[in-house]
Amino acid sequence: MTDHRIDRRKFLGTSLGAGAALLAGPALIGQASSASSAEASSGGFRFIHLTDAHVQKKLGADRGLAKAFEAANSVSPKPDFIATGGDQVFDTMKQTEDYSRELFGVFNGVERDHNDLPIYHTIGNHDIFGWAGMYGTTPEHPSYGKLMAREMLGLERTYYAFDHKGWRIYVLDNVQPGPNRFYQGDLDPAQREWLEADLAAKPASTPAVVISHIPILSVTIYSERFFNEESLTYEIANGLVMRRGVEVARLLAQYNVKLALSGHLHQRDRIEYQGVTFICGGAVSGNWWKGPLYGVQEGFGVVDLKSDGAFDYAYHDYGWESEAAEAQG
Ligand SMILES: [Fe+2]
């Protein structure tokens, strides 16, 4: 199996020097710090799930992301890598090419200057250029859709898998075009076929993690705002959660997938279904940089994967205070 991630540092010819001095940053607070170094050194490892940064040119988003990266780099024991969960920028789907490239440039600049860990990117709906068709952007544009994010984030493919210290990590792209909407949560047939084949080829004893932007399963959708009083039915757009989520969950359960991480909803939940744990991992940007959302602070996930297939997950509030006037604690 090949690693489809391009080394963007080599790709861009950038230096790692700037991030190194930040490793002595503030100590990790919260539950994540309780994970023992003994666990991390017994064959397992730690990574950071950093989702929904939503870099924009207001509300100090660049400063907030820098603070999140510095906190992620200061976690002890040190993580092996960062996996983003999508929506690195906000919002290329509805913006011009120049503005969209500028946003990715801000993200990359902050990442270059404040992160020293390897980074694996997941693509989110807001990272997809031009699907809303605004400013005259059409599918004929040379950077249309996911091409810009692939170029700017250094991704050969938007879905891929890699092995790390006895675990297999799947990064999925479950943001797909929809006939009547800008996007829908689903896996295209080619990706589903690849996923099934790769899971089947994986040694059964190898535990796995799946990362996708849109949750495969989530309880947050059972909200009154989605309830139709006439039909007494929840009307849940599949832009919120992935279509065929239960079917995909059953597939994952067959192949020793232990954990499925997502972003997108900027909320936190944790579901166990057929032995697979599904965690929606909050958001670096909280309520789109306007403060916490439904009590969920701006944060990221600290994930410890053990050599025996067990894992620990803790959500880390990295201490950002919103610069929005209407922000609430
Ligand atoms: Fe988001």
pLDDT at 178: 84
The amino acid that residue 199 corresponds to is L
Q: How far is the CA of 201 from the centre of ligand 1 (A)?
A: 32
Q: How far is the CA of 198 from the centre of ligand 1 (A)?
A: 28
Indicate whether 110 belongs to any domain.
Answer: yes
Indicate whether 35 belongs to any domain.
Answer: no
Indicate whether 271 belongs to any domain.
Answer: yes
User: What's the number of domains the chain is made of?
Assistant: 1
- Are 278 and 267 contacting, i.e. CB atoms less than 8 angstroms apart? no
Indicate whether 259 belongs to any domain.
Answer: yes
- 246-210-241-296 Cα dihedral, nearest 10 degrees: 130
Indicate whether 208 belongs to any domain.
Answer: yes
| pLDDT tens by residue, the chain, 329 residues | 344 444 444 333 332 222 322 222 233 333 333 344 444 446 799 999 999 999 999 999 999 999 999 999 999 999 999 999 999 999 899 999 999 999 999 999 999 999 999 999 999 999 999 999 889 999 999 999 999 999 999 999 999 999 999 999 999 999 999 877 789 999 999 999 999 999 999 999 999 999 999 999 999 999 999 999 999 999 998 899 999 999 999 999 999 999 999 999 999 999 999 999 999 999 999 999 999 999 999 999 999 999 999 999 999 999 999 999 776 55
Q: What's the sign of the alpha-carbon dihedral 22, 26, 28, 30? A: negative
Q: How far is the CA of 89 from the centre of ligand 1 (A)?
A: 9
Q: What is the pTM of this model?
A: 0.88
Within the chain, where are the H helices?
Answer: 8-12, 17-20, 37-41, 61-74, 97-114, 146-153, 189-201, 245-254
In three state form, how does the secondary structure of 212-240 look? Answer: CCCCCCCCCCCCHHHEECCCCEECCCCCC
Q: How far is the CA of 214 from the centre of ligand 1 (A)?
A: 9
Q: State the Cα–Cα distance between residues 54 and 315, nearest whole angstrom.
A: 18
Q: How far is the CA of 284 from the centre of ligand 1 (A)?
A: 9
Domain that holds residue 115: 40-317
pLDDT at 327: 64
Indicate whether 251 belongs to any domain.
Answer: yes
- The CATH number linked to 145 is 3.60.21.10
Q: How far is the CA of 267 from the centre of ligand 1 (A)?
A: 10
Contacts of 295 (CB under 8 A, 6+ apart): none
Q: How far is the CA of 217 from the centre of ligand 1 (A)?
A: 16
Q: How far is the CA of 286 from the centre of ligand 1 (A)?
A: 9
Indicate whether 7 belongs to any domain.
Answer: no
Q: State the Cα–Cα distance between residues 91 and 264, nearest whole angstrom.
A: 13
DSSP for residue 28: P
Q: State the Cα–Cα distance between residues 274 and 267, nearest whole angstrom.
A: 22
Q: How far is the CA of 211 from the centre of ligand 1 (A)?
A: 14
pLDDT at 74: 98
pLDDT at 290: 97
Indicate whether 17 belongs to any domain.
Answer: no
